[in-house]
Structure 1
């Protein structure tokens, strides 16, 4: 069987699909993963054959309209969510021709698309094959789907449709206790953490003698993106006096850590490092949040995008995290919230319960059979 996976424009979207794609390859199936050109090194680094379906980055689709007009990020939180949906819709429209061309040449039996990869259902419909929607975190706002449709009129019309086609199967990696109300029926699958790797050092996999706190804003931090956010967060958390890890690309590690005491900064594999930590403080990104849940480590969430607030609140309500909303993350507040989590064992206990729940979900290897069933 041939299975075509479609990821998005960030490493998290690749690593979200890689466990199932790898399991399918290990089961003897042929697997390709399509994504943006920028993501090809990430796809190949995950050990998967990759094919680019657009030379543009996700940033291009968030800053430029379909007619080439410049776009501005809206300030209103709800408008921000719809804006993101339209950006993913533009990426889908740009990717669709190459995706269909690839499908006609390679003839896959099933197409598995990441949660916001809206080219996947259209391409599957045009190719006459089953479409599987694959979540890559604990939930995306449902309004995003309609926003994507609103900019894909020509592509929908070419397929004789007015709406995006539905899925034949939905695979969800969100722990059942954190699924939002009204979530669609889904096949649950265990989350398996994934990230770029490097040669390990002993401190990465051994617990220190005192509390260790990890700070990160994801893998896309650069001098022009999220730098001030993660530097500011590291400064605030450093006031705790614990050992501090700051997970950022090596290119900015020196600047992020400058002047901070007892800090290690740089690229570190979260799947290895997170289990040695007592707390993860981060931007509420889905992949980072799931990595901490999987390791049974409590979290302090400071969402840097409005769409991340809802899944963060569900984690807070479960008792495995606390959250500081945008504008309410002063140093004193961050320190107080960190101290509350570190001083109250219930946050660790609830986090470990989530980890056990994740471990009880079906493995990707067990999920491959559902793909085989669709084709059979």
Structure 2
């Protein structure tokens, strides 16, 4: 069977999809992964064949179809609508390439991440089942509604007035973290995936003390790292080459899923793939204010006891005082309840089917 996967708009949006695509391929099926050029290095590094459907990037679509620059409103409903329209223009840009690929290659299934709004259109045009792949984190319905409005001309050409419904839906969010109104979906265990690199020797020694990992390139400011050195923990900055960090702080282009261990604490801004990787490793989290759309699942994670939120979540990317972050990390390290909650969520994840277990359900014969 031929299965076409449609990647997300950033590398982080692609990572959760990779293990399923690899499992389908290892199950003996032919796999292509379609996406915009800038995410194809992630696809290639995963050992998957990638097909470019556009050379443009997400930031190019901060310009509307009339060529006018779009200023994103302040956080709120209007902001969500504007972001959804950006995703809609992004999907429209790649649609012709995706339609051509479907017509030429004739896949038997199309599997697209939730924000790849061109995927269900291409599956409909090709007459094959569409599978929606979701993290169910930071994927608000308003984004989809605004994207559909933006895709009006493309829908009309295909004889549609809404996105076609999926044949199957898949979710990698643990049940406790899914929104109460989330649509039914096949559960899938999240397997942490990032592009790998040679590991520095400090990554693998035994755990004599916990790590506090800073996984946000904008938060590697020296004052924060100096403050974190006060803690009884090893301080690690992931995703950055050895460079300007205080003495004793580890830094390297090391995948978070490799560097983090049970009992560690990760400081970040709530990106879904990072949240899921922390949970899969039973690490507690300190959540800084992130982009709009991240607050809902960040709040649920905090209420479940596996994370501590700091700063003003109403202001996207707002700076947070060093003292507040350090105090939050100290609290999370000292209170075993955070680690216990993280272990409970990891247990939920481990009860979910592995990617290989889902392959038969995604490739079974479709009953008309």
Question: Shorter-chain TM-score category?
Answer: over 0.9
TM-fit CA distance, 1:304: 1.9
* Corresponding residue number in structure 2 for 1:122: 121
The residue number in structure 2 matching 1:113 is 112
Does the alignment pair 1:346 with 2:332?
no
User: Residue 6 of structure 2 aligns with which residue?
Assistant: 6
Which runs of structure 2 are paired with 1:21-32 in the superposition (5 Å)? 21-32=21-32
1:251-300 Cα distance to aligned partner (Å, 9 max, x none): xx524x2xx24211221022211116620110111111111100001000
Distance 1:343 1:200 in 2: 29
1:254 match: secondary structure: coil
Give the C-alpha shift of residue 19 in structure 1: 0.8
Written as runs of structure 1 = structure 2, the 5 A alignment for 1:210-359 is 210-217=209-216, 221=217, 227=218, 229-231=219-221, 234=225, 237-240=228-231, 242-250=233-241, 254-255=243-244, 257=245, 260-275=246-261, 278-326=264-312, 327=318, 329-359=320-350
- TM-score, with normalisation over the residues of structure 1? 0.91
The CA RMSD measured in Å over matched residues stands at 1.8
Q: How many residues align?
A: 361
In the TM superposition, what is the alpha-carbon distance from 1:340 to its structure 2 partner? 1.1
Which residue among 333, 352, 357 is the counterpart of 1:366? 357
Q: Give the structure 1 partner of residue 99 of structure 2.
A: 100
Q: Greater helix share, 1 or 2?
A: 1
Provide structure 2 residue ranges, at least 5 long, that are not aligned to the other structure. 313-317
Contact kept, 8 Å, 1:207 with 1:277, in 2: the verdict is no
| Displacement after TM superposition at 1:86 (Å) | 1.2
Shift of 1:78: 2.9
In structure 1, runs of 5+ residues without a counterpart are 222-226
* Whole-Å separation in 1 of the counterparts to 2:171 and 2:365: 17
> Conserved in 1, the CA contact under 8 Å of 2:136 and 2:178?
no
| Cα pair 2:209 2:232 within 8 Å, conserved | no
Aligned to 2:45: 45
Q: Kindly state the Cα deviation for residue 245 of structure 1 after the two structures are TM-superposed.
A: 0.7
**Pair 1:207–1:292, CA change in 2 (3 A):** farther
